Structures are given as C-alpha cells and as structure tokens.
Amino acid sequence: MGNYSTKQQKLLLSYLSSLDGRHVSAMDIATNFRERGEKIGITTIYRHLDRLITAGRVRRYITEAGKPACFLYIPEDGCFEDEHFHLRCSSCGELIHLECSYTSGLAEHVLEAHGFMIEPTQTVFYGKCKSCME
Amino acid sequence: MGNYSTKQQKLLLSYLSSLDGRHVSAMDIATNFRERGEKIGITTIYRHLDRLITAGRVRRYITEAGKPACFLYIPEDGCFEDEHFHLRCSSCGELIHLECSYTSGLAEHVLEAHGFMIEPTQTVFYGKCKSCME
DNA sequence: TTGCGTGCAAAGGTTTTGCATGGCA
DNA sequence: TGCCATGCAAAACCTTTGCACGCAA
C-alpha cells in the first residue's frame, strides 16, 4: 500500500515541503492547488495525509470543535522532529512553535513524579499571544 | 438573555453538578436524561453549554476531529477553579488533575521568555497514564 | 494484466441555525 | 402580554466510505 508514485503524490509532497513549518488544513491544500491550476480531490488529500501521519511525516492538530484539523509537515532533516510543544492563541488562532528548555524537562518530570507520559506533539497550550494581549 | 429559570435549565445544572469532575459529551447528557424518563433536546443542551462556557462554569475540551467535544462542569467552590493543568490519557480517556510545582512556574516562564500568556484552565496535556502504558 | 490510486457522490457524525410553539415573568 | 426558551427539522461543516474508472508497474 502506498507504493505507487503518482502525480498527485508528488505534487502534494512538493507543496508540503514548501510550507516550512506552517500548518494547513486539508481545504487549504485543495484551494492552493486550485489557484495554481492543478487539481487534487479532497479525498486524495485526506488519504495521503493519513498515510503520512502513520509514517510519522505529518502531525495533526485539533483546535476547535467543528473547525478543520491543522496538518504540519515534518521534513526528514527539519527541526520539527523535536519533541517540542505548541502555543495557540485563542484570539487570533496563531500557532507558535515553542523551543524552550524549561518545557523540554517537563515531560520527564511529569513521568517521574506523576507517572504520566506526556506526548508533546499531541499537546497544545492555549492562551493569548503578545499582540492579542493589548 | 439566559435569565429565565426553566425546568430544563434546572435539570441540566443538577446533572452537571453531580458529575464531580467527570467530563461528558452533549450526547452523553441527552442519553442520560432519556434513560431516566426526562427529555431535553440536544439543541437546548448545546445552547446551555454555550452559555455556561461564556460564564466560565463549563469548559470544553476537544479530543479528536469528528468526535464529540467533552464538557467539564466547574462547581463554584470546587477545585477546578485553581490554575492547574490537566492530564488526559488518550487511551482510556481519564482526566487527571495535576497539582505540581514544576508546572506552576511554567506559565510565568513562558510569559516572560516567550511573550505568551498560557491559560492553564484551557490547556490539557495529552499522553498515556500509568495503567495504559503497559 | 493486476491492483492500487483517484475523485465523484453519498454517507456519517457533530454542531449550528430557522422557525413555530410553549412557558416564564 | 411580551419575550425568552425549547425542540424539531434542516442546514452547515468536516471527514470518511463506496464505487467505478484511471494509471503505475
């Protein structure tokens, strides 16, 4: 399964690679292709994303009920393989990558002291970003 | 808006108060009432939950895309007013209250070093609990 | 040729909205 | 009486599934 090299697969991977850490919804992807004259069915996009998630090359983040999920591409040699947390501003919706030594020890502490294994890649901190705090 | 005291409102608040920290979906609530012979429309449940969220008496947690949201009732005098984080096991769904000195400094650090104000009450750490780790 | 990949259409599920009716004050 | 609350039906929305056709190997 997933062995064939198709035109859609190449287009999708090429697009995801260009995102450079930005997160997109499935509809974002479809819209982007439509604007460039290419066309990939939304079904195909979801199916490729599912495979990439299974392969560990994409992560899916849920934000609000009823809202589309956000997908993040993880380049093979990129920084996104790190086990870091994300911040999401509940006002403007911005998703921020949190590279932080304080939080990097967090999962370890909680595991040792509380017997719970946090998965940073599944966890999003909600709050207010700098510009929305005023 | 929301000033009238109706039968449905009383029933719903009474049920939510009895949950004692457990989280439920809107459908859970409707099913529970149906089993007891009472009946509240799912629309009414969603509308009351929305109001309670606005009033800060209920929190909504998203787990997976397409899956129903979980609602947590916050008693006026309960422990849920504290600014502590919660852990949720993505296997069994258990919600754990995390009283922890390590994490209590977290919000402060992120605010000073990263300019982002984390709201602990809106944030849930996902991972695996002790019993699900085996 | 074989079998996966694609994409349209439809289904599935949760949540919201429109609107007529019912109940509180 | 006036106005909000209720709940049915339908809509809106994201995501998945069924199925026929197309394309890679």
pLDDT of residue A134: 74
The strand pair at B85-89 and B124-128 is best described as parallel
Nearest CA to B126 among B92, B95, B83, B90? Answer: B90
Give the closest residue to D22 (Cα–C1′).
A6
* Contact status, residue A118 vs residue A111, Cβ threshold 8 Å: yes
Q: How far apart are CA B69 and CA B63, in angstroms?
A: 7
Q: In what order do the strands lie in the sheet with A23-24?
A: A23-24, A70-73, A58-61
Mean pLDDT of chain B: 83
pLDDT of residue A120: 77
Q: How far apart are CA A127 and CA A133, in angstroms?
A: 10
CB atoms within 10 A of CB B77: 7
- How many CB pairs below 8 A link A and B? 107
Residue B127 has φ and ψ, to the nearest 5°, of 175, -150
Q: Which nucleotides of C are covered by protein (CB under 7 A)?
A: 4-9, 12-18, 23-25
Q: What is the pTM of this model?
A: 0.74
* Domain definitions of chain B by residue range: 1-80, 81-134
pLDDT digits (tens, 9 = 90+) for B9-57: 999 999 999 987 788 999 999 999 999 999 999 999 999 999 999 888 8
CATH topology of domain A1-80: Arc Repressor Mutant, subunit A (1.10.10)
pLDDT of residue B79: 52
Distance from CA(A46) to C1'(D19), angstroms, rounded: 18
The hierarchical CATH code for the domain A81-134 is 3.30.1490.190
Nearest CA to A20 among A71, A74, A56, A60? Answer: A74
Question: Are A128 and B119 within 8 A, CB to CB?
Answer: yes
Of B64, B96, B122, the CB nearest to A126: B122
Of A64, A106, A127, the CB nearest to B117: A127
Give the rounded percent of residues in chain B with a pLDDT score beyond 70: 88
Whether the CB of B10 is less than 7 Å away from nucleic strand C comes out as no
pLDDT of residue B93: 65
Average pLDDT over residues B72-78: 74
How long a stretch of residues is chain A? Answer: 134
pLDDT digits (tens, 9 = 90+) for A55-90: 888 988 876 777 889 898 987 755 554 567 888 776
Q: Give B-chain residues touching A117 at CB under 8 angstroms.
A: 127-128, 133
Question: Are A122 and B90 within 8 A, CB to CB?
Answer: yes
Same fold, B1-80 and B81-134: no
Nearest CA to B125 among B63, B53, B74, B54? Answer: B63
Mind giving me the DSSP string for A3-20?
A: ----HHHHHHHHHHHTTT
**Listed ranges B3-12, B81-90, B106-115; the one with the highest mean pLDDT:** B3-12
Of B90, B115, B118, the CB nearest to A130: B115
Residue B103: pLDDT band by 50, 70, 90 thresholds?
confident
Residue ranges of chain A with pLDDT lower than 50? 1, 81
Distance from CA(B6) to C1'(C10), angstroms, rounded: 40
pLDDT of residue B52: 93
Nearest-CA distance B65 → chain A (Å): 6
Closest nucleotide to A62 by C1' from CA: D14
Closest nucleotide to B27 by C1' from CA: C14
